[in-house]
A and B are shown apart, each in its own frame.
Chain A
Amino acid sequence: MSAKKVKVGFFSLTCCEGCEFAVLDLEEKLLKAFDYLEIVESRVLMEKIKPEALKLDIAFVEGSVISKHDLNKLNYIREKTGFLVALGSCAATAGINGIRNALPKELQERIRQKAITPVKEKASPLSAFVKVDYILNGCSVNELEFLDFLNKVLHGVIPRLEEVPVCFECKLKGNSCLLLKGIPCLGPVTYAGCDALCPSQNVQCIGCRGFTKDANFKSLDNLLKEMDSGKKERYNFFTYFNQLPKELRHLRGEN
C-alpha cells in the first residue's frame, strides 16, 4: 500500500441519511481505516466543502434522484470521482422513495408543479443517470458489508456482488422457512448479503436489497395467492422497496 491516502467522500441525495449514520456507526473499525483513507467530504461532519475535495477516489452516494438539484449534484460527483458507489436502497433501486412513482398521474403532476424544488417525474436510482461502479444495497446498508468492501478496495480488489437470494442465507443460518409457516416473504426473490437479518427475527423479508436477476415472481405470487393474500396485499408487498416487476402487472389496478 502506498503512503498516499485514498480520498473518500460521502454524499446524500434525497433520503433519510440513515446509511451514512450506519456507516459512521462502525466507530473504531472505521477509525482504523482512517490510516488509509481521508474523508474529504461528509456534510454531516463538516462545515464546508474543501477545494481539494474536487478530486475523489471513491464517492459513496446515498439517496435517490428526486429533484433537479439531486441530479446536478450527482453529475458533479460523478465527474470528480474515480469509483462511485451507490449506498443503500434509495441510491441502488430508488427504494422506498420509488413508491411515489406508482401514485396516480394526476397527483404526481400536481406535486411536481407545486414543489419548491423542481421535482423530477420519478424518484430514480443513481444508475438511471450515471455509471455506478458498485452497489451496496439494503435499507439500511449493512455496515459490515461496507467495511468488507472498503477493506478489499483498499487492497486493490473489487469484491464480487453476491448473486444469491436471501433464502440461501436463511438455510446457512438454519432458520425455519417463513413461507412454509404460511407467512408471506420476499426472501426467494431478493438479493442476500444481509445475513438474512429479518427472517432471523421472525420477520418476513420485504425486499430492501433489490430483486434478483432471475427471480421467479410468478411462482412466488401464486404461492402468496394460495396463502389467501389478496391482490392489493400482494401488490403492496411486492412494491415495498421495488418497482412492480413486469410479470406481475396484473396486480396493478386497484391501487
Chain B
Amino acid sequence: MRKTCNFSIKEITKIEGHANLDVELKDGVVEKCELKIYEGQRFFEDMLKGRHFSQVPLIVSRICGLCNVSHLNTSIEAVENAFGIEASRQTNILRDLATNGEFLKSHALHLFFLALPDYLGRESVLEFNKEENKFLHWGLSLKKSGTDIIKLLGGRIYQTVSIRPGGFTTLPKKSQLDKCLPLLENERKTAINAIKLFASFSEKLSFERKTDYLALVDSNYSFVKGKLHFASGLVIEEEDMLKHVEEFIVPYSNAAQTSFEGKSFRVGSLARINLNQKALEPAAQDIIKGLGLRFPSDKIYYNNIAQAIELLHLIDSSIRLIKELKLEKEEMQKIKPKEAFGIGVTEAPRGTLYHQYSFDEKGFVKKANIVVPTNQNNHPIEEDLAEFIPTLLDLQQEKANLEIEKIVRAYDPCISCATHFLKVNWKNAKYNL
C-alpha cells in the first residue's frame, strides 16, 4: 500500500447489510476514513407514524432479520412503559428466554459463519477444509440450541408471532421447553470449545485502541433491565440515554452515528463483559480466569471472544431459567391506550438498543425514535481504522483491505438495522439535512 493514496473497499461482505469504505491516505496518515452505508433507507420511524400501538412491535421487528426478537422486546417494553403495564414474572422470564435464544442464534452465526473465515484465512465457510468443517457443525448446533427456544416461544424463528405487548398469545407446554434441555446441556462443551478456539486467535489480532464503552448493567447480566453504564464512569437510568448520547448525521452515509460527550464509544459483547464481567454465569467467569483472558480489554477482536463467552453464559442461564420455570396458564393483559410516551432500552446481540414512542389518546403513534447498536459502533469503527490503516503500509493493497474488513467484521455490524430510518434535523448535527 502506498503512503499516499485513495482507496475504496466496495461491498464489505460477510456482514449483515451493505457498506463501502472510502479512505484517503497522505504521507501515511489517514486524512479521511468513511464507512459508507449505502443500503437503501427504510424510514421506519416515518412509517410508524399513525400506526396503532398494537402494530408497532410487528412492524419494527422487520427492521432486522437477525435480531427481530430484540426489536420486538424493546418496542414492547416501550409500549408497556407508555401505557403503565407491568409484565408478569412469568412473561418476563419467557421474554428473557426468547432473548437468550436470539443471542445464541446471532452470536453462533456471526462467530462461525462470518468471523471464523477471517481467523482461518479462508474466503468463506464454503472453502473450509475437512478438518475445519467441524467448526460449522459447532456453529449450527449452538445456533440450534437457541432457535429451538425461539421457535417454541415465538412460533417461528424469523419474525416471531406470539410475543406481544401484554404477554404471550400462546404458551408452549413445559414438557416442550424441557425438551430443549438435552441440547443445551450438550452445547455447553461446544461453547467452551468455541471460547478456546477464538481465544487461540488472540495473539494474531492484537489491534487495540483505548476508548469508551456503553452497556446495560444489572446484577443478573440481564439484557432487558438495569442501568446504563459508561466505562468512563457515568451511570444513568435507561430513559435518560438520549440526554447523554448524541446522534448525528454523517453526510456520506445512510446511517447516523452517535457520540458521548463528543467522543465515540463501543457497544456489544465486549462492552457488556468489560462492564459487567462479575455478573456472568459462574462457568463463564471460571473459563475467563482459566484461560487467563483479561477484561476489560480494548482489543476489538476480543469482541469475538466476548461473544463466545456469552454463548456459554446464555446456555447456562437458559438451562437455569427452564429448570426453575413453572409454566402456568396466563391470560394476556388488556391494554388501554392513552396519550402517553414510552421508552424501552435493552441489550441486543450487537449492543444497546433504544426505542421511544409517543402515542395519542387512541394509541396511534405520533412520533417514534429508534437508536440501534450499529449506529453507535459506526463511529468507533472509523476511529479504529484511522489508527489501524497506517500500520498496514507494508502490505499489498489487497491484503491490507482484508485486514481492514476484519476489524469491521469483528464488530458484527448490522447494516439493515443501521438504515432503518432517515434522521432529519438533529440538533448539533455534523450535517443538517
Residues in chain A within 8 A of chain B (CB atoms): 13-22, 25, 27, 39, 43-48, 66-67, 69-70, 95-97, 99-100, 103, 107, 110-111, 114-117, 119, 139-140, 197-198, 201-203, 206, 230, 232-233, 236, 240, 255
Contacts and interface: CB of A to CB of B under 8 A. Distances in A.
B159 A139 contact: yes
B282 interface: no
Contacts of B50: 232, 236, 255
Contacts of B164: 203
A25 B109 CA distance: 10
A103 B55 CA distance: 17
Contact of B40 (A17, A67, A201): A67
A174 B191 CA distance: 41
B16 A44 contact: yes
Interface in B47-106: 47, 49-52, 55, 58-59, 62-66, 68
Contacts of B52: 232-233, 236
29 contacts: A13-B40, A16-B62, A16-B65, A17-B16, A18-B159, A19-B158, A21-B65, A21-B66, A25-B157, A44-B16, A45-B113, A45-B124, A47-B13, A66-B40, A96-B47, A96-B62, A100-B46, A103-B49, A107-B46, A110-B424, A117-B41, A117-B254, A119-B41, A139-B62, A203-B162, A230-B362, A232-B50, A236-B52, A240-B55
Contacts of A202: 162, 169-170
Contacts of B162: 201-203
B416 interface: yes
B302 interface: no
Given A66-B40, A99-B59, A114-B433, A18 B66 contact: yes
Contact of A43 (B13, B109, B144, B155): B13
Contacts of A255: 50
A200 B159 CA distance: 15
B296 interface: no
Contacts of A46: 13-14, 123-124, 126
Interface in B330-361: none
Contact of B65 (A18, A97, A115): A18
Contact of A111 (B17, B46, B362): B46
A240 B68 CA distance: 17
Given A48-B13, A115-B422, A116-B252, A201 B161 contact: yes
Nearest to A70: B40
A25 B36 CA distance: 30
B24 interface: no
B43 A111 contact: yes
B221 to A, nearest CB: 26
Contact of A232 (B47, B161, B364): B364
B369 interface: no
A114 B421 CA distance: 12
B47 A100 contact: yes
Contact of A47 (B14, B36, B62): B14
Contacts of B140: 27
A115 B41 contact: yes
Interface of B is mostly: loop
Contacts of A67: 38, 40
A139 B162 CA distance: 14
Contacts of A96: 47, 59, 62
B11 interface: yes
Q: Choose among A25, A107, A255 the residue with the greatest number of B CB atoms under 10 Å from its CB.
A: A25
B72 to A, nearest CB: 12
The 4 closest A-B pairs by CB, nearest first: A18-B65, A66-B40, A14-B40, A140-B158
Given A47-B124, A230-B362, 11 more contacts: A16-B62, A21-B158, A45-B124, A46-B13, A47-B117, A103-B47, A111-B43, A140-B156, A140-B158, A198-B155, A232-B364
Nearest to B55: A236
Nearest to B332: A202
Interface string B1-28: 0000000000101101100000000000
Contacts of B126: 39, 45-46
B123 A197 contact: no
B235 interface: no
B400 interface: no
B125 interface: yes
Nearest to B66: A21
A19 B162 CA distance: 19
Nearest to A255: B50
A146 to B, nearest CB: 12
Contact of A15 (B13, B362, B416, B424): B416
A6 to B, nearest CB: 16
Nearest to A25: B157
B147 interface: yes
Given A17-B66, A22-B158, A103 B43 contact: yes
Interface in B107-161: 109, 113-114, 117, 123-126, 140, 144, 147, 155-159, 161
Q: Choose among A17, A21, A48, A97 the residue with the greatest number of B CB atoms under 10 Å from its CB.
A: A17
Contacts of B170: 201-202
A233 B362 CA distance: 10
Contacts of B433: 114
